[in-house]
Structure 1
Amino acid sequence: MLYECQQLSFTTYYKIKENVKFIKRPNLTEEQELLFLEEVLHSLKTGQTLQSTLHLLNITSRSEFLKSITTDLMNYIEQGYRFGEAIERSQRFDATITSFLKNGDATGNLIKSIELSIRLLKRNIQLKQELKKVALYPIIVMSTLICVLFLMGKFMLPQFIKMFASYNATLPQITLVIMNVTEGVVKNFNLYFLGFLIMIGLIRRIGSMPLTRRNIEQILLKFTFFKEPYTDYRTFEFSYLLEAYLGSGALLEESLKLIQKNTTSYVLKDVLEKNMDNIHQGEKLHETLKRCPIISMRFLEMIKIADRTGDLKNILNTNVEYYDIKYQRRLEKLLIYVEPALTIFMALIVGVIVLAIMLPTLYLTTQVM
């Protein structure tokens, strides 16, 4: 009786949770998604059922987020939903990963879709780690410079002013400029900090707007220095997603609709949306992609061959590996130029600060002598 009451209250809770739309469920990070899917894949490959896999993860995991997810998923599955549908209803996973799992589960290729999801997550995490390495150096240097300017404006420059006033000397112009800037920042620090946060929020808000994303893509495509690595990346993304959806059992038209829904490129979204009727009527894939400027010419020629031979999956697999390696090499080459440029920029700022500090001392020494 007690067990039945517990089950009833548990079911009632999930019905309420499902129907109340304003409950915000936190999204998982890519690292958390990867951890969860690797655990599920390992258990499924050892021959366990999906329900027993989720139950085992729930009772053995030390992670609260993993316990929460498995609890949600077990209850959705008990209500009759498939695993991919349960993932979608949990609203915890990335849209692309969700579509992989939902489509793979519906077509009987769940393990394959989990493997593809893990592969994509690992690559995304690796790419972000490489970009963080580049961003870490300027962030540390800029933070140090801000602290130096703050301390200089708070403690050092007032002493310079008193010292020069006692000798009836005039501060050098560069020192006056630095002094006025730092003094203004120190006095109005809260206001500047609030303005900085508002600016960051506006940039993120404006940057996420479709119109802004489209314009940024158009700008990238106008400059050869950015165009080649960007088209390589987008070609890799398209070929990987198409290979994954086809591999999970989806038809070509359905796969293109899923890509149109989940890609982060608004240029590709627009092209697929405008040509979906043509695709439905039997237009060849390379004819559609020819209208998309972010797809490389080499890839188009390969797709043209695939349209003629019908060997699309193998050609996609070859291109995924090729463009992945090519993009990684272009990114490494780009970083070779970025790091020295950042170093020079930081050196100029440090040089100005050093001059602002040293010139008054030299000038005052000359005056005294």
Structure 2
Amino acid sequence: MAWFEYRVKDRGGRDHTGLEEANDVGVLITSLRTQGYFIVKVQEVKKGAIFSRETGKAKVSGKGGGVKLDDLVIFSRQMATLVAAGIPLIQAIDILEDQVDRLKLKLVLRDVHQEIEGGKSFSDSLRKHKKVFSEIFINLSKAGETSGSLDIMLDRIATYLEKSSALQKKVKSAMIYPASVVSLAFLITYGMLVFVIPKFAQMFEGLHVELPAPTRFLMDLSHSLSQNWILILGMIIGSIFGFRALLKLPAVRIYWDGYIIKMPVFGGIITKVAVSKFSRTLATLIKSGVPILASLEIVSRTAGNLRMEKVILSLMDSVKRGENLSGPLGKSLVFPPMVVRMIGIGEETGELEAMLLKIADFYDTEVDTAVDGLTSLIEPLLIAFLGVVIGGIVISMFLPILTIASKIH
């Protein structure tokens, strides 16, 4: 038996997709034609992509890769529409299973369908797939089931995920340009050192002249790179893996997470993103009726920064003692004073969730401004850096020629 992914059209010309287990492709095609479908495409799905029912986890190495935030936005928005239209939950999932393009999500939805048929709730079925559905997705779904407003909660989830996705894209756009330019500069420099400078070195050897110090340094560096490139590459790879291993140690991770929110240039953006994420997540949970302690616990697990997580856990302790949120936030020195004041006002007026959403919207705009400013700042610096590095190499290699020319004159 093997699994096959198929795409067919019915007599009305509508597209249908699905996954089916069959002895071979011929048996499946015969079965589909018997049901009145016209075959568009049938192909076998590799074993690495098939859902593992024993572990309950979708393997990453399947066709289409991992489930992205945009996939979940579309799924939750469509699911909200179907549930609001009065379509039964199982039937709605069945419809969306046929609609989604990403294989991993398709397989997860198939399992969710089976779990619900087996008597589990929608949120409990999602909980089995925490690598796909976040804590906030699961808990808001549970709140929707409890209150009888699942469609509203799913729509709220979609809005939250849309904002999160937009924020992620802004940060990535800020990092991609400088990373690309630095990588290009590294490749150009490496190419000149390994391929161009050795040719100059051969020419200078025949001239029998004393070379200037910058030229000798570059020639020695070129020789070292050419002879020891395997060792150097191994050291670079080892350093990367070593750094990642160190970050798994809690003491190192909390120090690093504290450093990155204070580092020059990028620290401000990272802090703004963290504040926006904290505010929007907490506001969405509170607005959906999730108790404050449970909301803070979920927010701490989704913080993505141990320093921020520690602050949020201290908030939980304060709430348990009957204190407000703004006090511990002010002592943390992580959240800006304006945020602390706004949260305090929100608590006093009973409009905490509305105030948190205003904070999130404000910091989303701040991230936009910071990203634009960062690009404007980094662009001339990178151009200057490229000019100094490449120009320095060129000048160093032409110094001996200029020296010889001056002696001739």
**3-state SS of paired residue (1:90):** coil
2:200 to 153, 160, 164: 160
In the alignment, structure 1 residue 249 sits paired with structure 2 residue 289:
yes
In the alignment, structure 1 residue 25 sits paired with structure 2 residue 59:
yes
Please give the residue correspondences for 1:1-369 in structure 2 after superposition, counting only pairs within 5 Å: 17=52, 19-20=54-55, 25-26=59-60, 28-93=67-132, 95-108=134-147, 109-219=149-259, 229-366=269-406
* Higher RCO (C-alpha under 8 Å, 6+ residues apart): 1
For residue 174 of structure 1, report the CA deviation from its aligned partner: 1.8
Determine the C-alpha separation between the residues in 2 that align with 1:180 and 1:224.
34
Structure 2: gaps (5+ residues): 1-19, 22-50, 61-65
Check 1:248–1:18 CA distance in 2 against 1; reply closer, same or farther (3 A cut).
Answer: farther
Check 1:162–1:366 CA distance in 2 against 1; reply closer, same or farther (3 A cut).
Answer: farther
For residue 68 of structure 1, report the CA deviation from its aligned partner: 1.7
For residue 39 of structure 1, report the CA deviation from its aligned partner: 4.1
Work out whether residues 289 and 300 of structure 1, in 8 Å CA contact, stay in contact via their aligned partners in 2: yes
Work out whether residues 231 and 296 of structure 1, in 8 Å CA contact, stay in contact via their aligned partners in 2: no
Determine the C-alpha separation between the residues in 2 that align with 1:141 and 1:367.
40
Deviations 1:75-105 (A, max 9, x none): 2222222222222202332534444444444
Check 1:99–1:343 CA distance in 2 against 1; reply closer, same or farther (3 A cut).
Answer: farther
Determine the C-alpha separation between the residues in 2 that align with 1:147 and 1:326.
34
For residue 196 of structure 1, report the CA deviation from its aligned partner: 1.5
Deviations 1:159-181 (A, max 9, x none): 32332222222333222222222
For residue 308 of structure 1, report the CA deviation from its aligned partner: 2.6
Higher strand share goes to which structure? 2
For residue 227 of structure 1, report the CA deviation from its aligned partner: 6.6
Letter aligned with residue 194 of structure 1: G
Work out whether residues 193 and 222 of structure 2, in 8 Å CA contact, stay in contact via their aligned partners in 1: yes
Check 1:363–1:263 CA distance in 2 against 1; reply closer, same or farther (3 A cut).
Answer: same
Higher helix share goes to which structure? 1
Check 1:289–1:176 CA distance in 2 against 1; reply closer, same or farther (3 A cut).
Answer: same
Check 1:319–1:141 CA distance in 2 against 1; reply closer, same or farther (3 A cut).
Answer: closer
Work out whether residues 286 and 304 of structure 1, in 8 Å CA contact, stay in contact via their aligned partners in 2: yes
For residue 243 of structure 1, report the CA deviation from its aligned partner: 0.9
Letter aligned with residue 25 of structure 1: K
Check 1:223–1:154 CA distance in 2 against 1; reply closer, same or farther (3 A cut).
Answer: closer
Deviations 1:147-200 (A, max 9, x none): 434443444333323322222223332222222222222222233222222212
Stretch moving more, 166-175 or 358-367 = 358-367
Letter aligned with residue 341 of structure 1: L
Aligned residues: 355
For residue 245 of structure 1, report the CA deviation from its aligned partner: 0.6
For residue 28 of structure 1, report the CA deviation from its aligned partner: 2.8
- Paired-residue identity, %: 21
Check 1:46–1:344 CA distance in 2 against 1; reply closer, same or farther (3 A cut).
Answer: farther
Work out whether residues 293 and 319 of structure 2, in 8 Å CA contact, stay in contact via their aligned partners in 1: yes
Determine the C-alpha separation between the residues in 2 that align with 1:73 and 1:259.
25
Determine the C-alpha separation between the residues in 1 that align with 2:145 and 2:110.
22
For residue 226 of structure 1, report the CA deviation from its aligned partner: 6.6
Determine the C-alpha separation between the residues in 1 that align with 2:261 and 2:185.
35
Deviations 1:26-62 (A, max 9, x none): 3533344334434434444554333222212323444
Determine the C-alpha separation between the residues in 1 that align with 2:331 and 2:380.
38
**3-state SS of paired residue (1:245):** helix
Letter aligned with residue 324 of structure 2: K
Structure 1: gaps (5+ residues): 1-5, 8-15
Work out whether residues 243 and 313 of structure 1, in 8 Å CA contact, stay in contact via their aligned partners in 2: yes
TM-score of the pair, normalised by structure 1: 0.80
Determine the C-alpha separation between the residues in 2 that align with 1:134 and 1:238.
21
Check 1:111–1:363 CA distance in 2 against 1; reply closer, same or farther (3 A cut).
Answer: farther
Work out whether residues 30 and 125 of structure 1, in 8 Å CA contact, stay in contact via their aligned partners in 2: yes
Check 1:266–1:44 CA distance in 2 against 1; reply closer, same or farther (3 A cut).
Answer: same
Determine the C-alpha separation between the residues in 1 that align with 2:187 and 2:301.
45
Work out whether residues 284 and 307 of structure 1, in 8 Å CA contact, stay in contact via their aligned partners in 2: yes
Check 1:193–1:316 CA distance in 2 against 1; reply closer, same or farther (3 A cut).
Answer: same
Determine the C-alpha separation between the residues in 2 that align with 1:64 and 1:79.
23
Work out whether residues 230 and 294 of structure 1, in 8 Å CA contact, stay in contact via their aligned partners in 2: no
Deviations 1:260-283 (A, max 9, x none): 232223233223434534413422
Instruction: Give the alignment's Cα RMSD to 1 decimal.
Output: 3.3
Determine the C-alpha separation between the residues in 1 that align with 2:118 and 2:379.
54
Determine the C-alpha separation between the residues in 2 that align with 1:90 and 1:320.
28
